[in-house]
Structure 1
Amino acid sequence: MNRKNAPKTYKTGAISFISPEKIALNKTTPLYWMSDVSNETARIDVYFDSGLRKAKNSVVSMTSSMLLSGTQQKSSTEIHNQLDDLGAFFDIGLSHEGVMVSLFALKNNISEAYNVLLDAILNACFPEAEFQEVKAEKIQNFKININRVAVLAQRAFQEQLYHGTEYAVLSDESDLQKVEREELVDFHEAHYVNGIFKVAVVGALEEKEIQHICDISKTNCINKPLVFKSDFRNKYGAIHIDKKDAVQTAIRIGKTLFNKQHEDFLDVSILNTILGDYFGSRLMKNVREDKGYTYGIGSIISESSGSGYLLIGSEVG
């Protein structure tokens, strides 16, 4: 093999995309089921209308961190042990527009594991001791992260990108210090108990298992369509944050864009891949390999339900 010669390229033929089955949990909440899976694993993603735009960032973030902290009937340890016994694990993702809780397990155990997970989330009681631990951890992490140039640059970029909207609001240490347990309880009641707005299931499950997942989910769904902001207009200009003793400079460049519903999204996605979305991209070749200005640089296209943005980021010495 002569590695000096690039491999031949071929045109891609027709791609057969698999469409999930759509099941209506109510008039506004769908469940998507992808059943054509050739292995024994399964995954369930449940989406709650409880993102950062719904309340103070500090309250929203702490609530999502304590979803499995215990109920009136089970401690956090008991909940985690039950999931462990079923060979299941979970992940929680928080964004401006919602919280996605992902559950992974063997398909034979996924339904029972979902019972445990959903019960823990919907009946969370936020014990005082666990609340104080999470609060102290959040404050400590904030103190550490706020001294990182990458975090400072990203916060400033977010304020400019979403200028004048609730998406631009940020928390500081004093916000975390002021959070009370009762605020988490109230937010949970308002945005989790009847806050499911989408469920996605991937796995070769039986019809009766899907029906069970539908049955235990539908009673806690939203009852009206969600409305997401789409008319973002980023604030133009450059910002310089002077940080003494910083050994690196973080750079963030970008603008508001659009999401995958736009007719140009696929074209721009390919363009972004060439620009900076993999190790051999133009940005890496030019800025890192040719000029040696940075160890890493890249670009991403990030989506929201009504909009999106382009971001180029790097840290330089």
Structure 2
Amino acid sequence: MMNRTIAPETSTVTHIDFQSPEIDTLANKVKVFAMRKTTDETVRVDFVFDAGSLKTSKIIAQLTGELLFSGSADKTSDEIEESIDRLGGFTGVEISTEKATISAIGLREHIVSIAKTVVDAMINVNFNPKEINQLLQSKKKKMAISLEKVSTQARRAFLSDLFSNSPYGDLTHLEDYDKIDQKDLIEFHKEKYLKGLQYISIVGAINEEGLDAIKALGNQFSKDEVTKIDYDYSYTPNNIHVEKEQALQTAIRVGRVLFNKQHEDFIKFSVVNTILGGYFGSRLMSSIREDKGYTYGIGSGVAQLKETGYFFISTEVGKEFKDLTLEAIKEEITLLQTEEVSENELSLVKNYIIGQILEQSDGAQAMMDRFISVETYGLNFSYYDQFIKEVNEITPKEVKELAVLYLNWEDFTVVSAG
């Protein structure tokens, strides 16, 4: 019988036993990653294309992706949707800066038929002018509403200033929606979808026959080499205020260009970031939300891009608290740079970070996400062992040194909107 008066033994996590995907390369050089060791009857197939907004305007990238199921010469959008619904399937479209992910989801006995319908729709889409215009008007209205928000204004000004020397800083304006032509979408589709399939990921208990059928679908596309362009990621720290009359809130963005997980300091800086603003018990939350009551929420993070990354702090406060909030943020950063974090606080943060990794690695889909997260940067699952090792070993002295190295206020772009 369990003695509940005795605490269970604890142990330090040093390794996560990941399930590695099966990896194959098709005749067209497209890679296929399959995670099939699961009892889950639902299968997800992701077709990932070099069709992010980095390769064109954000409008063209979004419109092209969202119109892939809008109809072909043989099928209307309703017929495509009905074909997938009849099989109990779902589709997903996610367009980011650097890629476009088109998903087919369904039970394993139907997933091949669903994927065939998805691929046929993608390849033969006709970009009906009526569909284009309806989507353009809808997105233009949504953007007009979004542009009224101080959070949107601050985010746009922040990224535009930080990445003024690369397409990451390009902004979409309302008048840009009036300049889109059908031929723009047709050309982008031809170059970045028909010739731009990068990889296919499959998660679910699909059999060999089904796997081969998905691979055959992948061979209907081609894969041009992704052109690497060396952008200038240098920037000049700036202080920007976007005035919005009658706004009750002020949105704040503070940060700098930094790095992604390929950098030698990324892992240990992740600990510094978590202490500062990376979880609910962080110093920024404790000081600015709990103690001072300036905001309902504040946080910091490191956003990773394919070639670089950036550190940011974001919040919204009452207009009268803007200067006080910036001063409080600065004080918390200075404290990290001048006083070593206590062993108790550091231990709590270490446990939180490793706990998050464990939680985000539970199940086949989570493991595939973890795999793609490192494979994108030319790494493998051993990265997570290294991550856990460095998190466990970081000292208060190193936290202080990294804060001094990367969190200088003079290196930050500071944006407020309100």
Pair in the same fold by TM > 0.5: yes
Structure 1 residue matching 2:240: 3-state secondary structure = coil
Listed as ranges, the matches of 1:298-313 within 5 Å are 298-313=299-314
Larger Rg: 2
Displacement after TM superposition at 1:160 (Å): 1.7
The C-alpha deviation readout for 1:128-149, integer Å capped at 9, x for no partner, is 2211110110111111111111
For the pair 1:65 / 2:33, whether they are aligned, the reply is no
Once the two structures are aligned, what percentage of the paired residues are identical?
36
Contact 1:26 1:221 in 2 (8 A): no
Gaps of 5+ in 2: 1-7, 319-418
Listed as ranges, the matches of 1:102-141 within 5 Å are 102-141=103-142
Displacement after TM superposition at 1:229 (Å): 4.6
More helix by share: 2
Say how many residue pairs are matched. Answer: 311
Displacement after TM superposition at 1:47 (Å): 1.1
Displacement after TM superposition at 1:282 (Å): 2.3
For the pair 1:267 / 2:268, whether they are aligned, the reply is yes
Taking a change above 3 Å as real, the CA distance of residues 230 and 262 of structure 1, as seen in their structure-2 partners, is farther
CA distance in 1, matches of 2:224, 2:274: 39
Gaps of 5+ in 1: 1-6
Taking a change above 3 Å as real, the CA distance of residues 269 and 33 of structure 1, as seen in their structure-2 partners, is farther
Query: Structure 1 segments of 4 or more deviating over 3 A?
Result: 7-10, 228-231
Tell me the residue number matched to 2:183.
182
TM-score in terms of structure 2 length:
0.70
Structure 1 residue matching 2:98: 3-state secondary structure = coil
Tell me the residue number matched to 2:99.
98
TM-score in terms of structure 1 length:
0.91
Listed as ranges, the matches of 1:199-218 within 5 Å are 199-218=200-219
Tell me the residue number matched to 1:239.
240
CA distance in 1, matches of 2:267, 2:20: 18
The C-alpha deviation readout for 1:202-255, integer Å capped at 9, x for no partner, is 112112211111111123131324426575223311111111111111111122
Tell me the residue number matched to 2:57.
56
The C-alpha deviation readout for 1:90-120, integer Å capped at 9, x for no partner, is 2211122121122322222222211111111
Displacement after TM superposition at 1:155 (Å): 0.6
Tell me the residue number matched to 1:297.
298
Taking a change above 3 Å as real, the CA distance of residues 281 and 105 of structure 1, as seen in their structure-2 partners, is farther
Contact 2:30 2:218 in 1 (8 A): no
Tell me the residue number matched to 2:32.
31
Structure 2 residue matching 1:137: 3-state secondary structure = helix
For the pair 1:224 / 2:225, whether they are aligned, the reply is yes
CA distance in 1, matches of 2:309, 2:93: 22
Taking a change above 3 Å as real, the CA distance of residues 202 and 273 of structure 1, as seen in their structure-2 partners, is farther
Structure 2 residue matching 1:46: 3-state secondary structure = strand
Structure 2 residue matching 1:295: 3-state secondary structure = coil
CA distance in 2, matches of 1:8, 1:144: 54
Greater alpha carbon shift after TM alignment, 224-233 vs 38-47: 224-233
For the pair 1:169 / 2:170, whether they are aligned, the reply is yes
Greater alpha carbon shift after TM alignment, 167-176 vs 280-289: 280-289
Q: CA RMSD in A?
A: 2.0
Displacement after TM superposition at 1:316 (Å): 0.8
Structure 2 residue matching 1:294: 3-state secondary structure = coil
CA distance in 1, matches of 2:35, 2:267: 23
Displacement after TM superposition at 1:28 (Å): 4.4
